[in-house]
Structures are given as structure tokens and as C-alpha cells.
Amino acid sequence: MKRILTSLFIVNFFLVSCSKDEEFMEEIDATPPVSEEQPEIGFPPSLAYSFMVDAGATPETIALFYNLKSLSYSSYIVGQQDAFSAFYQNNGGMSDMKKLTGSDPGMLGSDFMFITDDANDEQPNNWFYQQEQHIRSKAIEAFDKGMVNIFCWHLREPYEGDHFYTSEMTTDQKQNAFKSILPGGENHEYYKKKLQKVATFTKNLKSTNGTLIPIIFRPFHEFDKDFFWWGAAYSSPQEFIDLWRFTVSYLRDDLDVSNMLYAFSPDNSYTTENSYLTRYPGDEYVDVVGMDNYGDLAAQNGSLISLANQKLKVVSDLAEKRNKIAAFTETGYFVSPSDQLASDFYSRNVYEVLTKQDINLGFMMFWQNYQDSYTVPVPGARGADDFLKFREKEKTMLLTDMPDIYDLPEDDI
């Protein structure tokens, strides 16, 4: 087996942006009219649980759901993947966002990949177990600061346990991996063991004062493309729906996970509600409707900004109709010494994607920084001044701007 055992940075190198090179080119004829009235949340705090996947969730998890939905009408929380672990030019210490803005992001992105790896034997000298402990400590740090925790899952294929990119898998593996973990499949029990590990980690994720920490879990992200083995090319819509429903039900009902919100996050293939819902498992299995999108932000002339905004408009409108949280679950433009960066990329391009057409998002998340490239600039880097302008925009919310996201308000009488 080919394994990466040298350092977190080397492993992370192979994760670069999930879809950095994916671009989806098409045109839209018109944009919907802008409404004149700002909508308001359609349910009181005391009924928030009834719109969630887990009606028996912990009080902090219910508060997180309600407050993200409520905040979406005026602000969006800005997050970054691995903000406390990955730094531009390996300059550690405080998060790169805090180095520039004076504030940490409001959300920390993490990954279950190392935690569920076959090589993680949970022994103190095991590199993967050490990464699990590191991820745990950073998630606790984030919660103690008042941040939101969100986890994706680059789950390795169930045959050799080595890869998640189809480009590194055999034809037989990528054609059968997803089907094999469905109920009744040859690797279904293997998949259940991975979910058991996810559950054990999540149920034991507690703050320094013993509070069970809520997380947002977004499995099978960017499933509409074909670069991951859980992509649409390798399963039918019904098979995807069946596995999603099994995953949620097994975690919630069989493994008693009560501190988790579930996020549905395709990549950027969708431009209509019908196409977005092709693999949607149902409102009772989803708390967050999101979308990842790198390709439409790659053009520095802003030629695809309206298209990206229209895609988020679909997500925002769905969240409004279904009492879900809308989110821009993953994005960024990777700036390296050889790349061009528009002078107003953050303050105009990104901000317009996030806000035009009265979009209401609970959060947006930049992907992580690397040694040789960044999505969030540091002081002195190109785009730093413009990111500060983005940070000062009316709807942008970093940690220092956030209320207590884990405190459920009382109903208005």
C-alpha cells in the first residue's frame, strides 16, 4: 500500500482545493428581481428542533441551527479549513486570518479522513492517531472561543484504504466502491465501522468545561462531479439517496449521536432547483443546504460572478422554502507567486457572489492555506488590503463580530 506518513503538510498537499481545476461554463438568461423586503426566520426558537434532522439534539446543537438560520438574514459567518493547522509559508502561531484582520474566522473546518484511516490504531505513537488528537484539540479550542466546527470527510475507498481521488484508483475500484458500501454490499460492514469511529469521536468531543460540542458534518461533498469515488458517475440518484439516509439514520438512531447537523454540499454543476435536488435525500435528512464552488471564482475578470451568484441563489431560495440553513460550504482562489489576483477579488468578486439577489447564507468557508499558496492572505501578501475591505463589509462576520452562537434565544412574547 502506498501511504503518506511523513507530515500533515504533505498529505494536505494532495487535498488541494478538491475542485480547484474544475470549471463549469454556461450562461444564464436573466436574474430574478431583487425583493424589497427582508425576510425573517419562519419559526420561533422553541420550535427550531422540529425543522432539524435530529429533534432530540443537544441544546447547543439546536441553538447552533437556530442562530445560523437567524443570522443568515443579516450576516454570514466566514470560516476557513484547518485555520489553526495550515499556514501560508508554514508561518504558524495564530490563524492566518487573525494575523491579517485581528480576528480568527468564525468557523473552523476539519476532516474525518485521518481519524477514520485504516492505519489509525489509536496508539499514542501512531501518526494518524496523533493527527486525531490534534484535530480534537483544535476543535475544542474553536468551540471554547465561540466558533463553529464543521467536518468534511475525504473517506478513502473501501478496498485498499489508500485513495479518495478516482484518478488514483483502478477502474474496478472506482466503479464499485460506492455501491459496495450500500446496505447489503460487500463493504457495508466496513463502512459501518468507519461511521462508528465518526460517532465515537463526535460523542466524545467535549469542551474544557465538559459541554458536548456540536459539529456540522458534510459527507460525500462535491458528489455531483467524478473526481471522488462517491461522485455521481458511480451511483444512481436513488443509491446515493439510500446511502445518505442510512448514514444519517445509523449515526442518529443506532449510534446515538446527538450533537451533529448534516450538510448537503454538491459542487457547482447546478443552476436550477430541479437539478440541485436530483440527489437530495429529503428535508428530514438535511439541516444545511450548501454548494462548493471554485471554478466560477477562478476567472479574475469576474466574468462568472453572476453565474456563481445565481447558483447560490438557488441554494438560498431552497433554504428559505424548507427552513434549512443555506451556506457556501467551500470556496477560494489559490494565490501563488505565479498567479494573477484581481485587485478587488475579495471585496467585489467574492462579496457579490455572496450577497447579490438578496441571498441569505449562514456561513461561507475558504479552503485552507498552504506553504506555497493561500486563499486568505497574510499581511503583506497580494490581496491583503482588499481582504480587509471584504472583512469590513456589512454582512461579513468573523469571530469578534459573533454573538453567542450556542445560546438559544427565548421566544418573543
Q: Name the residues annotated as catalytic.
A: 222, 330
Q: Return the closest-CA partner of residue 368 out of 22, 97, 50, 69.
A: 97
All three cell numbers of 292, joined, read 462548493
- Residue 324, C-beta contacts closer than 8 angstroms, at least 6 positions apart: 51, 69, 283, 286, 287, 288, 289, 318
- Tally Cβ neighbours within 10 Å of residue 331: 25
- Burial (CB < 10 A; 0-12, 13-18, 19+), residue 179, is middle
Neighbours of 302 (CB within 10 A): 16
Residue 394, all three cell numbers: 456589512
**Containing H/E element for 249?**
helix 237-249
- What is the number of alpha carbons within 13 Å of residue 303 lying toward its C-beta? 10
HEC string for 133-186: HHHHHHHHHHHHHCCEEEEECCCCCCCCCCCCEHHHCCHHHHHHHHHHCCCCCC
H/E element, 307: helix 305-322
> What are 127's three cell numbers?
501518526
Handedness of CA 200, 286, 219, 171 (dihedral sign): positive
3-state helix vs strand vs coil in the chain, percent to 5 = 40, 10, 50
Q: Is 239 helix (H, G, I), strand (E, B) or coil?
A: helix
